[in-house]
Amino acid sequence: MHPTHYLKLFTRLAGVLLLATQVQADNLGFDGKIVEPDCDAMGPWFNCRKIDSAPEAAKRGYEYIHHTSKTLGPDGNKKFSDGTPYSTSNIACSSCHFTGGHVPSGTPMYQSPAKYAGLPYFRPLNYNRDLEDSIVDCFRNCMNTSRTLSKSDPVMQDMVAYIHWLSEGVTDPNMQGTGWVNLPGTALPAVDANVANMVANPAKGKTLYRDKCSSCHSKDGAGKGEYRRGENRPRTPALWGDHSYSRGAAFYNSQNLAGYIRTHMPYGKPNTLSAQQALDMAAYINDQARPDGMADEMFCHIEADGIPGALRKPAAWLVGCSYTGEPFSDAQILYGPWQPITDWRNAEITRLKALQP
């Protein structure tokens, strides 16, 4: 055969191979699975019951929380009476609250009713929250939805009914009521005991993301499948872009996101990344374009009483902004080191608390 024929054959073969890998990537190599709770390990303190046995309101609440994009999303089947969607993004509550809040260290919600029963939660500096407020906050900041869900809205009531049903699965009396603090995995997992003094490298994070995450979450971070409008493939949620969490979300704190990534991702290979790798990827992901959400209105400004909105939350709870008078750049807030910021904010909170009537 003439050498050019070999070349042609080779190019054609390479083309077929390339196509095959693309098809493979589209299939994600996994079945669109979700994170499942390890009910055997949770047995001593939690009874994983099937949602089919729950009261109707809780069942509906589970649908909203688990299949958020299909029900409340922009193309969902449940809208406000004027036709506005409940959620303007396509991720699901359960994308982050794994299996509707069943999974320790996967932002569970089995503690939530007891936690917010000791009202008001986060009281210092008058940042008062009840369970419904937290749901509203997640709609605004995790889902980028500007319309505030009223506490009497039927969707809200069904979600609350579900979260209460979930919390009734706690069987250990030492973990019920005010004992909720003894429940495992309620805090966001720390990526490293020393994370606050670490510094993230988003350039390294970019390469790592491409190698370890993009096959499922896609190169442009938009996720794949049910969450990507108009596509009907297995579901992986968006990590940035219009359909992801906003600058006001807890994940916009790279320390939080890194802990979450290290504990749960890549899907099916939890705890395989180093703390530094997880942190580098978290910073890269948070660096990408995403909605502002309610970040400015809720946190990144000085309020009428002179208190910076960002200080209403505990100091380590950085939301992605610095505010007038704070000696830290937005870059440091995203990449660290965070310890100096937390120390400074804690001192500010103490000073401002002392001025409270």
Q: Which residues bind ligand HEC (CB under 6 A)?
A: 28, 30, 34-35, 65, 68, 91, 93-98, 107, 109, 111-112, 115, 131, 134-135, 138-139, 142-143, 159, 187-188, 212-213, 215-217, 236-239, 245, 249-251, 260-261, 265-268, 281
Kindly state the smallest distance separating residue 99's Cβ from ligand HEC, in Å: 6
Kindly state the smallest distance separating residue 225's Cβ from ligand HEC, in Å: 9
Kindly state the smallest distance separating residue 340's Cβ from ligand HEC, in Å: 23
Handedness of CA 185, 187, 189, 194 (dihedral sign): negative
Burial grade of 57 (CB within 10 A; 0-12, 13-18, 19 or more) = middle
Kindly state the smallest distance separating residue 9's Cβ from ligand HEC, in Å: 34
Which CB, 161 or 238, lies closer to ligand HEC? Answer: 238
Q: Which amino acid is at 168?
A: E
* CA atoms within 13 A of residue 319's CA, in its CB half-sphere: 26
Which CB, 108 or 308, lies closer to ligand HEC? Answer: 108
Kindly state the smallest distance separating residue 249's Cβ from ligand HEC, in Å: 5
Which CB, 94 or 322, lies closer to ligand HEC? Answer: 94
In the block, tokens 């959400």 appear at: 293
Kindly state the smallest distance separating residue 269's Cβ from ligand HEC, in Å: 8
Which CB, 16 or 42, lies closer to ligand HEC? Answer: 42
Which CB, 37 or 308, lies closer to ligand HEC? Answer: 37
φ/ψ of 109, rounded to 5, equals -125, 10
Classify 46 as helix, strand or coil: strand
- The DSSP symbol for 254 reads H
Of all helices (H) and strands (E), which one includes residue 4?
A: helix 3-27
Which CB, 93 or 300, lies closer to ligand HEC? Answer: 93
What is d(CA 348, CA 256) in angstroms, rounded to the nearest whole number?
A: 22
Handedness of CA 44, 45, 49, 55 (dihedral sign): positive
